[in-house]
Chain A
Amino acid sequence: MPKILIVDASKCVGCRDCELVCSAKHYQTFKSSLSGIATIKFDEISRDVPMVCQQCEKPACQAVCPVNAISRDEETAALVINYDLCIGCKACVSACPFGAIHFDDEEKRPIKCDLCDGDPECVKICPSEALKYEEADKATMAKRRESIEHLPELLKLITGEKG
């Protein structure tokens, strides 16, 4: 069973370590647009949301690619771009509903998460457990459990009770 990369934005501290390590692994440099993951910062509310490819089951990027350059890795289930085929048309960039594909104007190619062949660097460096790489069932059940732990808070909000 391939694992999934699951993001818990409420835990992210916004350090961008994940971006740095990603561009480092794939392109031997530090450059945000060469990273498959990006932390979107919202300073006004002091929040940060890591955005990364969801490796969709019905991938829009793959569907729009006119040269079939995007395929699914059999082992990791990651959608991987074959740059030998890619013509750099950016259709995938436009199609992704999460904006998870970035076009780098130096390399002149779309950049997306490839799950590091099943050993994602970002997960290993993240200091806050905002990123996890686990079996789908385990990860989603854990998420459910955590939500329930937050439920009293949620209930308070729903019923309008002030905390």
Chain B
Amino acid sequence: MFKGKGYTGRILRINLSTGKISKEPLPDFVVRNYIGGNGFSVYYLYKELEPGIDPLGSKNKIVIGTGPLTGTLWPSSGRFSIGAKSPLTGFWGEANSGGFFGPELKYAGYDAIIIEGRAKKPVYIEIFNGEVAIKDAKHLWGRNTKEVTLELQKEDKETQVLCIGQGGENLVAYASIMSNLHRAFGRSGQGAVWGSKNLKAIAVRGTGRVDVANFDKFIELSKEAHRKVQEDEAARQMFTYGTNLLVSAKQAIGEFVTRNHSTGVFEGAEKLAAEVLKEKFNGRPRACFGCSNACKEVYTTSHANPWAPDMVTEGPEYEGTMAFGSNCGIDDYDMILYVSDLCNKYGIDQISLGIAISFLMECYEKGLITKKDCDGLELRWGNKEAVVALTHKTAKREGIGDLLAEGVKRASEKLGRGTERYAMHVKGQEVSGQDGRTHRSVALTHAVGARGADHLRSLVTVDQLGYKAAARKRYKDLFKGKSKKEQEVILNELCNPYLENYKAYAVKVTEDIFAIRDALVVCWYTCGWPPIFWIEDFARIMPLATGEEALGDVQELLKIGERQVNVKRAFNIREGLTREDDTLPKRFTEEPMPEGPGKGQVANLKVMLDEYYRLRGWDLETGMIKRKTLKRLNLPEIEKELDKLKKMID
């Protein structure tokens, strides 16, 4: 059992089939090789899930993981991770979000929760420090995430709640899990896994403490880190305007995802600018636990608002603005706020739903489907009523919503008629609000993401937002032994969003480092955007938190990060993944960007993919992990298993 600091040393295991609740010691081995947070999912899901199981069956498991920094003063450490095999992709599934549940769980005395089996009828789990109970959720089933949260807080308002809405209950393949009403574990359909297990919610109240190993130095460094965030100009901008700042930044490089990813400039972008949003709805910042960045914005609608009068909501984030705005040809924040809030209540991922709707719209506009296919809806670009109607239908799986609830991959396969071409997904997960043609590194990020087309596990921002100083520090190996002139060229090419050069390297390094970020767990803001903290900062704080000197070594941390990326890869290989799955919708590789600053750009995925595989030590042809890579990362069990399955290359 791990005896160091930063952890509670306890993992809670709950079997919903048998009702058995047990508390396991946190193994040293897990701390030293996986750290925590998403690392718990990586370790336990690989080890305990049989390959080929039904993600919505009783054999799937849920892992909720906090990290050694959770509940401490280190900035933006309120985030935590939830993992389970994904019903959307059939591959690796995991989501990460902020709020206050994670720290509360740790104060209650647990680093992680593992949930197994399936309850016969709807239940929720109640945790009060050492007391844990599985309770009847009859009164909660069928209700939205806001109602459930408030209901479970009735007796003790300090209780933190994680729950699903109707989306998860109805097994919408991209259902989310919500906390604090507006913090979403959005991607990879984690909410549907909960629904399939009849698990409606977890309520936790913890009154304990979190201790660290070297208190004085930990505090000193944490305060300095908060100061850095508070003095950073870009972070202050985010504090003031939230993530919708990206609308203008992306429009400027031709990457503002519009009409189902068909273009990267939107004629209504000005109306969707962050400044407009803030002004119109009186935006004010709100933060997750322990965060000085406070990227969340609270908006209040007026009494005269046509969609949702007198509503107080948080969000949309940039991704929501993209999903229901530009992506559907809509430039009206009144409506976007309403749908974003609706998704949070239903518990549905905004990105996937938006892309599912735009998929249908594009098919309709192209004449591949008709009104009759769509319950009589006129699915023209910009039809706001249709977007709202499809949101309700999908959450309830009514009519065409039943098809949309499966995600665009399965929906297009079912529809046929050439609609597959407009299904914007990778591995079955809908493509988030970036465009690999005009932000080249993200083409690779989308293609290789273990959970499908996802930006958050390896998003390189230096080419997108032009962070040259950060680029030089973060990807410093590129510049070693080069002349000043050569260095200049490398830097310019690395930061050029329209070139493939050096992007494979940047994605690989970023992915390894972000695996550490998700293990600690800290927010991706302040690491990726704005670029404040990086691996050196993690290495400095980790021994102070845990007392584990080895975790203070950058090389060791990078190895742990790389290990996690490879275990996820092995998980997917076990499920049948090959190089073919590391791909992009043809739109990004074959249809040149039609207009705007990036006009004519396409992504050359092949060169980046080859280079990325080489750097990873994966086989170029099959995408399998090479034996020597597994050896180097010290993963003997995986080596043995993949060997047996004949899914390894020597």
> Is A136 part of the binding interface, using a Cβ–Cβ cutoff of 8 Å?
no
Interface positions, chain B 378-406, Cβ under 8 Å from A, are: none
Q: Nearest chain B CB to A87's CB is how many angstroms away?
A: 23
> Is A51 part of the binding interface, using a Cβ–Cβ cutoff of 8 Å?
no
> Is A50 part of the binding interface, using a Cβ–Cβ cutoff of 8 Å?
no
Asked whether, in the complex, the Cβ of B73 is within 8 Å of the Cβ of A17, the reply is yes
Complex Cα spacing A22 to B378, Å: 58
Asked whether, in the complex, the Cβ of A125 is within 8 Å of the Cβ of B314, the reply is no
**When the two chains form the complex, which single residue of A24, A41, A45, A106 contacts B73, counting CB atoms closer than 8 Å?**
A24
Contact residues in A for B292 (Cβ distance below 8 Å): 15, 17, 125, 127
Asked whether, in the complex, the Cβ of A125 is within 8 Å of the Cβ of B223, the reply is yes
**When the two chains form the complex, which single residue of B229, B298, B302 contacts A46, counting CB atoms closer than 8 Å?**
B298
Contact residues in B for A44 (Cβ distance below 8 Å): 146, 150, 181, 312
Interface positions, chain A 24-80, Cβ under 8 Å from B, are: 24-25, 28-34, 41, 43-46, 48
Asked whether, in the complex, the Cβ of A162 is within 8 Å of the Cβ of B302, the reply is yes
**When the two chains form the complex, which single residue of B150, B182, B209, B290 contacts A31, counting CB atoms closer than 8 Å?**
B209
> Is B469 part of the binding interface, using a Cβ–Cβ cutoff of 8 Å?
no
Asked whether, in the complex, the Cβ of A14 is within 8 Å of the Cβ of B208, the reply is no
Question: Among B10-18, B43-51, B58-66, B280-288, which stretch is in contact with chain A?
Answer: B280-288
Encode B260-294 as 1/0 by CB contact (under 8 A) with A: 00000000000000000000000011111111111
- B interface bracket (residues with beta carbon within 8 Å of A): 35 or more
**When the two chains form the complex, which single residue of B71, B208, B215 contacts A28, counting CB atoms closer than 8 Å?**
B215
> Is A152 part of the binding interface, using a Cβ–Cβ cutoff of 8 Å?
no
Q: Nearest chain B CB to A15's CB is how many angstroms away?
A: 4
Asked whether, in the complex, the Cβ of A46 is within 8 Å of the Cβ of B286, the reply is yes
**Chain B residue at smallest Cβ distance from A16:** B289
Given contacts A29-B209, A31-B210, A45-B312, contact A13 B294 (CB under 8 A): yes
> Is A128 part of the binding interface, using a Cβ–Cβ cutoff of 8 Å?
yes
Asked whether, in the complex, the Cβ of A34 is within 8 Å of the Cβ of B223, the reply is no
Asked whether, in the complex, the Cβ of B285 is within 8 Å of the Cβ of A30, the reply is no
Asked whether, in the complex, the Cβ of A127 is within 8 Å of the Cβ of B211, the reply is no
Query: What does DSSP make chain B's interface, helix, strand, loop or mixed?
Result: loop
Interface positions, chain B 304-354, Cβ under 8 Å from A, are: 304, 312-314
Complex Cα spacing A48 to B296, Å: 13
> Is B239 part of the binding interface, using a Cβ–Cβ cutoff of 8 Å?
yes
Asked whether, in the complex, the Cβ of A32 is within 8 Å of the Cβ of B107, the reply is yes
Interface positions, chain B 212-240, Cβ under 8 Å from A, are: 212, 215, 219, 223, 226, 229-230, 239
Complex Cα spacing A127 to B223, Å: 11
Asked whether, in the complex, the Cβ of B294 is within 8 Å of the Cβ of A20, the reply is no
Interface positions, chain B 71-130, Cβ under 8 Å from A, are: 71-73, 100, 107
Contact residues in A for B287 (Cβ distance below 8 Å): 13-15, 127
Complex Cα spacing A31 to B129, Å: 13
- How many pairs of residues, A versus B, come closer than 8 Å at their CB atoms? 93
Contact residues in B for A15 (Cβ distance below 8 Å): 287-292, 294
Asked whether, in the complex, the Cβ of A128 is within 8 Å of the Cβ of B294, the reply is yes
Q: Nearest chain B CB to A131's CB is how many angstroms away?
A: 13
Asked whether, in the complex, the Cβ of A163 is within 8 Å of the Cβ of B302, the reply is yes
Contact residues in A for B100 (Cβ distance below 8 Å): 16, 41
Complex Cα spacing A44 to B311, Å: 10
**When the two chains form the complex, which single residue of B207, B211, B290, B304 contacts A20, counting CB atoms closer than 8 Å?**
B290
Complex Cα spacing A154 to B577, Å: 61
**When the two chains form the complex, which single residue of A29, A106, A162 contacts B211, counting CB atoms closer than 8 Å?**
A29
Asked whether, in the complex, the Cβ of A21 is within 8 Å of the Cβ of B239, the reply is no
Q: Nearest chain A CB to B479's CB is how many angstroms away?
A: 34
**Chain B residue at smallest Cβ distance from A153:** B282
Contact residues in A for B229 (Cβ distance below 8 Å): 127
Q: Nearest chain A CB to B532's CB is how many angstroms away?
A: 14
Asked whether, in the complex, the Cβ of B72 is within 8 Å of the Cβ of A20, the reply is yes
Interface positions, chain B 229-265, Cβ under 8 Å from A, are: 229-230, 239
Q: Nearest chain B CB to A163's CB is how many angstroms away?
A: 6
Asked whether, in the complex, the Cβ of A30 is within 8 Å of the Cβ of B211, the reply is yes
Q: Nearest chain B CB to A31's CB is how many angstroms away?
A: 4
**Chain B residue at smallest Cβ distance from A127:** B292
Q: Nearest chain A CB to B639's CB is how many angstroms away?
A: 40
Asked whether, in the complex, the Cβ of A30 is within 8 Å of the Cβ of B210, the reply is yes
29 contacts between A and B (CB under 8 A): A13-B285, A13-B286, A13-B287, A15-B291, A15-B294, A17-B226, A17-B292, A20-B72, A21-B73, A24-B215, A24-B219, A25-B219, A29-B210, A30-B71, A30-B72, A30-B209, A30-B210, A31-B208, A43-B149, A43-B180, A44-B150, A44-B181, A46-B314, A125-B223, A127-B230, A127-B239, A127-B292, A162-B302, A163-B302
Binding site for B on A (CB under 8 A): 10, 13-17, 20-21, 23-25, 28-34, 41, 43-46, 48, 105-106, 124-125, 127-128, 162-163
Binding site for A on B (CB under 8 A): 71-73, 100, 107, 146, 149-150, 157, 180-182, 207-212, 215, 219, 223, 226, 229-230, 239, 284-294, 298, 302-304, 312-314
* Given A17-B291, A128-B285, 20 further pairs, Cβ under 8 A: A13-B294, A15-B292, A17-B226, A20-B290, A21-B223, A24-B219, A30-B71, A32-B107, A43-B181, A45-B312, A46-B312, A46-B314, A106-B209, A124-B223, A125-B292, A127-B229, A127-B239, A127-B287, A127-B292, A128-B294
